[in-house]
Amino acid sequence: MTARPPKASGARLRELAELRRARASSGCARGSAAAPRSTAGTRAPVAPASTVGREILPVPPALAPLLPDRGLVKGSVVSYSGAGTLLAGLLAAVTGPGGHAAAVGLPRLGLLAAAEMGARLDRLAVIPDAGQDPMEVAAVLLDGMDLVVLGLGTAVIPPARARVLAAKARGKGATLLVTGGNWPTPDLSLESRVAGYTGLGTGSGRIRSISLDIEARARAGNPRRGRLTARPLGGRVEWIALDEIATAHTSGRPETSSQEDSVAS
C-alpha cells in the first residue's frame, strides 16, 4: 500500500502560498531562454534551442550532440545522476540567455560554479530545504519557471505521484529535472561519471578542470555517450567536447585563460 505524502504544516502552507503569490506577481515570462543576449560576451554560449514541433531548452553546446533533441524538451521529465558540475552547467545554459530556473532540495548546489559558467543568479530561485514534501514545492515552481531542478535525496517516488507532477510540467510547458531518489519512467535519463581532474598535485593544488563521461538515454533509441570537460577559457568556465580538446591541442592553440578559480563538482 502506497504511503500518502506528508501533510504540510501551517508554516509550510504559508510558505507555499507566498511562493504562489510571488510567482503570480513577478511578471516573469517563460520561454525566454533562447532569447538573444543583451550584453555580448558576458554569458556562456548555448546550443540552438529549436526543434520542429517542440520547444527546447538550451544546454551547453558540447552536451547537445548527446541529446535526442539537442536540448531539454519543455514539458518533459529528465532524471540526472552524477556530478553537480553538470547541473550547474544546465542551470547556466537556461538562465544565462534570460530563462528562469529553480533548484529545490539541493543545499550543496554549486552557485559559484554556475555563475562562472554564465548563470544569471537573479533568474535562479534556490530553495535548499524544501521541507517534508519537496514535490509540492516543485509543483508550485513549475508554474512560472522554464526549468525546475528537484533533489529527491533517497526518496522512492510512487508512480501515481510521479504522473501528477509530470502532467503539471507538461501542462505548464516547464522542464522538470529530478536528481537523487528513484523516479519512474523519465522521458530522458542523464548520467555523469568523473573521468579525471587536472590541477591537483600530491596533497595540494586546485582543480583546474574536470572531465565527465556522459550517458544520455531516451525512452526509445540507443544510449549516447561522450566525454566533456569543464575548464577555464577566456575568464569563465566553458564545456568542451573531447574531440574539440584534441583539435585544440593538435593545432597548437594556447590556453586563453589564466583564471585561478576552481571548477566545483
Strands 124-127 and 147-151: what pairing? Answer: unpaired
Query: What is the rounded distance in angstroms from the CA atom of residue 165 to the CA atom of residue 149?
Result: 13
Query: What is the rounded distance in angstroms from the CA atom of residue 227 to the CA atom of residue 242?
Result: 6
Task: Write the class of the CATH domain 46-191.
Answer: alpha beta
Query: What is the rounded distance in angstroms from the CA atom of residue 77 to the CA atom of residue 86?
Result: 17
Task: Name the 3-class secondary structure at 144.
Answer: coil
Residue from 164, 124, 225 nearest 5 by CA? 164
pLDDT, one tens digit per residue, over 76-126 is: 999 999 999 999 999 999 999 999 999 999 999 999 999 999 999 999 999
- Provide the angle, in degrees to the nearest 10, between the axes of the packed helices 134-141 and 10-26: 20
1's enclosing H/E stretch is none
Backbone angles phi, psi at 68, to 5 degrees: -55, -35
pLDDT, one tens digit per residue, over 34-79 is: 433 333 334 445 554 444 468 999 999 999 999 999 999 999 999 9
**Inter-residue contact 81 to 191 (CB < 8 Å):** yes
The reply to whether the predicted model has a pTM over 0.85 is: no
pLDDT, one tens digit per residue, over 115-130 is: 999 999 999 999 999 8
Give the C-alpha distances (Å, rounded to integers) separating 236 from 79, 80, 114, 205: 27, 24, 10, 19
Q: For the chain, how many helices (H) and strands (E)?
A: 6, 12
pLDDT confidence tier of residue 254, bands split at 50, 70 and 90: very low
Q: Where are the domains of the chain?
A: 46-191, 196-250
